[in-house]
Amino acid sequence: MKKFIKIGKINIVVAIFIIVGSIIYVRFSRYTDKMIYQTNGLAYDNFETTLNHKRYYFDIDDDIVLHGVLFKPDSQIARATIIHYPGKGMHLMASRKYYEILVKKGFQVFSFERRGFGESTGVANNSLTLKEDALYVFDKILDDVQVKNTPILIWGQSLGGAFATMNAAERNDKITGVILEGTFNSFPDIGKVYANALGLENFKWLIPLLMNNDFSAENEIKKISKPIWIVHSVIDKQVPFGLGKKLYEASDKSNTQFWEIEGKHIKAIFDYEEEYVQKFIDIIDY
């Protein structure tokens, strides 16, 4: 009997060792980062647009080049520059239709494609590296003669909302305001929504142990002193409404407002065009 008890204890210790080891491996190998950022099958052959635009290629390392585009009004000086952080699967060819509305209203919009997406090279497998990329590109584009001296608005949608919030927090003195749509408060919380993709539907409590949360939006948003609008659909099926509310609850209410809407995930600019564009204008006039 003692022998069986001893074997049982050894098995428990081994099982604990394997579980802890697996958690450490997944966490420090940044396995979940790869799942979040790498997108397969979403590419295009050649970038095309009928909008007035300027293309950029940012040299990050010897073998890493990031592709960005500034979309501009045809016959007027831009009333402001919008730096857009799009959703996970939105390369520049996919997001052009969003920009048509804003350019028509006199804004210019800049966005770039993360590593390994669209025309950008490299591999997106580390949140901290992607954060460095975002801030590097932001600083570079602000030095561009066509962007300098224009009000800077940061716009983040879905996954891009995390980067938009981080960028705004890190460069609070450089911006005029922020609009976030259909985004979430933290990576572990959105990870729980998609736990089935990790095979952890019945073990959601493990998600915070497995996922890195390098720039939690609910922490970053507290550092922003400029006007913020958080937009979220009550019937959003990709990022639950509750996660948008959590982000709002973590914010400073003196400079943050919440706009509750109805409609599909990050489609508000099409469903509420005039009201949506007015939010950008209100921030400039604040």
Q: Percentage of the chain surpassing pLDDT 70?
A: 87
pLDDT tens for 28-86 read: 567 777 878 888 767 788 899 999 999 999 999 888 999 999 999 987 789 999 999 99
pLDDT level of residue 198 (50, 70, 90 thresholds)? low
What does pLDDT average to over the chain?
89
Put simply, whether the predicted model's pTM sits higher than 0.85 gets the answer yes
pLDDT at 178: 98
Distance CA 277, CA 280 (A): 5
How far CA 43 is from CA of 4, 119, 159, in Å, comes to: 58, 8, 18
Amino acid at 258: F
Work out whether the CA dihedral 23, 25, 27, 30 comes out positive or negative: negative
Q: Which domains does the chain have, with CATH numbers?
A: 2-40+49-285 (3.40.50.1820)
pLDDT at 75: 75
More confident position, 204 or 84 = 84
Q: Are 157 and 86 in contact (CB under 8 A)?
A: yes
Q: In what order do the strands lie in the sheet with 64-72?
A: 52-61, 64-72, 108-112, 81-85, 152-157, 177-181, 228-233, 256-261
pLDDT at 213: 86
pLDDT tens for 256-280 read: 999 999 999 999 999 999 999 999 9
More confident position, 286 or 67 = 67
Distance CA 16, CA 9 (A): 11
